[in-house]
Amino acid sequence: MRSIQLDLSKDPNIRLFRNNVGVLQDVNGQHVRYGLCPGSSDLIGWTAVEVTPSMVGKRIAVFTAQEVKTPTGRVTVEQENFIAAVIRAGGFAGVVRDTNDALAVCNKKEPT
């Protein structure tokens, strides 16, 4: 995951941050949830894209979510639902297993 994040940081149009999700108990015994939401992707951020001339040619940041898995790692139903919701809303999202997959999710190139 860290190598994917470092590799993609070389592209000035991509910014991804580690999104840890879970729950901890504080000193008073209260449960504190952290992270975006259950099922949210490991790496979240944005990909800057150039809007077409018909949209005034402005650059916008497109929400980007990448669920990082090992070659044999499985995606949970919650993770699949989060990825699908991001894509339905117009964002870039997917399961990635290496840097090539991660770049493909950001619409930068086809995976090799």
Position 57 scores a pLDDT of 77
Number of structural domains (the chain) is 1
Tens digit of each residue's pLDDT, the chain (112 residues) = 999 999 999 999 999 999 999 999 999 999 999 999 999 999 999 999 888 888 777 888 999 999 999 999 999 999 999 999 999 999 999 999 999 999 999 986 444 4
Residue 28: how many other CB atoms lie within 10 Å: 6
- Domain holding 19: CATH number? 3.40.1350
Domain membership of residue 57 as a residue range:
2-105
CA distance 62 to 81: 18
Which residues are bridge partners to 68 per DSSP? 96
Cα torsion at 61, 18, 1, 80 (round to 10°)?
Answer: -70
Q: Is residue 57 included in any domain, yes or no?
A: yes
Question: Tell me, what DSSP letter sits at residue 93?
Answer: E
Position 66 scores a pLDDT of 97
Q: Is the dihedral of CA 24, 27, 30, 33 positive or negative?
A: negative
* SS3 labels along 96-109: ECCHHHHHHHCCCC
